[in-house]
Amino acid sequence: MCDKGYIDYKKFDSYTSKEIYFVSRLKNNAKFKEAIDLPITQCNKAQPLLPAGLTIIYDKKVRLSKESINFTKHFYRVVKIIDSTGKELTFVTHLMCYSSEEIAWLYKKRWDIVKML
């Protein structure tokens, strides 16, 4: 897990090539290319992972850049949510096999995961 203050898209490509998994916050100025809308998915509607009041806005498959050039070599997944306080948060990962809800949950639980290591 890494936070948006340490974002380096070349490092994301390196992590992906080495099969190192990550979920991070994405900066507001990130540029997307070749955005493909993905369905917003939950892992279990009867027992949601996320607290009430949190809304998933979108889930997209994109290539990233800080400007309109130098896009990432790999595709990444961007999940945007609005938390219960109304704050917008955008997450980036290369984990494509999890639900939208699980991606947001993984980021939310990042400190618990680090403590377990």
Q: What is the pLDDT of residues 30-39, one digit of tens each?
A: 888 878 999 9
Mean pLDDT of 107-117: 66
In this predicted structure, what is the pLDDT of residue 78? 95
Closest C-alpha to 90, from 57, 66, 112: 57
Range of the domain at 11: 4-116
Torsion angle of alpha carbons 21, 35, 104, 114, nearest 10°? Answer: 20
Q: What is the pTM of this model?
A: 0.84
Domains identified in the chain, total number = 1
Mean pLDDT over the full length of the chain: 84
**Residue 10 belongs to what H/E stretch?**
helix 9-17
Give CA–CA dist 76/9, Å, rounded: 10
Q: What is the pLDDT of residues 47-93, one digit of tens each?
A: 888 888 889 999 999 998 877 667 889 999 999 999 888 999 999 99
Do β-strands 23-25 and 88-93 pair in parallel, antiparallel, or remain unpaired? antiparallel
The encoded tokens of residue 49 equal 């992972």
